[in-house]
Amino acid sequence: MDHFADRLRAAPQSRLQRGAATEALRLARELARQAQLLEDPSGEPREMPDAGMFAAADQITVAVHDLALVLTDEGQVDEAVQLVEEAQKRAGV
């Protein structure tokens, strides 16, 4: 995840506009949703707001760290890592 976030921070604005930032926000929202559901399965997850393309790297960093605090087994960790890897490929960074 840190590699993905670093690549986003270093990406030119044109790459962010072509979809990298959108993909990062989609990932951040999914990771945040998973973290909220693990913390409170009966609660309604709140959607992470769109803070703009230049905040996308920070949003995935926050979301993945929040998720890491509530993961309970290796399978969940593997699933989160896979989500990050797939998002990075789709983002093209």
pTM comes to: 0.92
Mean pLDDT per 10-residue interval, the chain, length 93 residues: 92 95 97 96 95 96 95 94 94 92
Kind and range of the H or E run holding 9: helix 2-10
Give the pLDDT confidence score for residue 20 in this predicted structure: 96
Residues 6+ apart with CB under 8 A from 77: 68, 71
Q: How far is CA 29 from the centre of its chain?
A: 6
